[in-house]
Amino acid sequence: MYFNKLICNDVEVLYIEAKTKNRPIIYTLHNGGLMFGSALTEAMMCHRLRNELDLNVVAIEYSLTTKACYPTQLNEIEAVMNYFYDHQEELNVDASKVVMIGNDAGANLACTTALKGSKSKIMLQILMDPLLDFTTDPYTRELTRGSIQPKFIDHFRNKYSPDQDFHNPLVSSYAMSQEDLEKMPATIIVMAQHDNLNDTNLEFANRLTKAYVDVHTRMARNRERGFMAKYFSASRVIYTRYHEEQIFIWIKNHIDYYLNRPF
């Protein structure tokens, strides 16, 4: 697999060029609770999106909270997006319309990036197994099969926002007001059946709908949290897991639609 490593306004990214010049961009934000992981964890998915949709894909190596807390990550994402926007002609990309894909806590970064804004217009955000709610005490949640242990969520949120400003909508997407939600782009939310965060994710989807945002949800039956990340974690994806593959096709169809619709 081939990536270009770029430094965009002091932030490292893994960049896969589209096969055709002047194609739009997909930005990906990896999982790991903002403490772990790297842009490389999205490698297989990035290559498939590039190859099958002929799009530029940029995996952002945002700072982990072991090195820096909020708002560093949001500022880095904005800096990368603005870099590609400002260098469109040089890079032969169309950065006017983009897609954001966020996995786990990366989904929270995708939402808050959309609220913060950048020079590019986000046409669609794809939230996979999203961790959007830092406002709720994780120890009050029912612990079910496939759940994140509450001690991890508590650690993740305290490392991201050491001053515990969890009701700041730029820290926790779940804290967004109705006015904030109206600024959100079209949204896809992919969830596993066995995940104790589904209640807040479905509530977030309902609130987006009430804010007149296009929302599409998909619940994977008999799957545990992180199932799509696991699907793409192998060194080579073999198309034998029918349900995961169908969800990926469903996601691709939505990307194609929102990047190409005439309005």
Q: How does pLDDT run across 110-143, given as a tens digit for each residue?
A: 999 999 999 999 999 999 999 999 999 999 998 8
What pLDDT shows up at residue 262? 74
Cross-strand pairs, 185? none
pLDDT of residue 60: 97
Successive 10-residue mean pLDDT values, the chain, 263 residues: 84 96 97 93 91 97 97 97 97 96 97 96 97 96 85 96 97 97 98 94 98 97 91 63 91 96 74
Residue 238 one-letter amino acid: I
Predicted confidence at residue 143, as pLDDT, reads: 82
Strand-by-strand arrangement of the 11-16 sheet: 4-8, 11-16, 56-60, 23-29, 93-103, 121-128, 186-194, 215-224
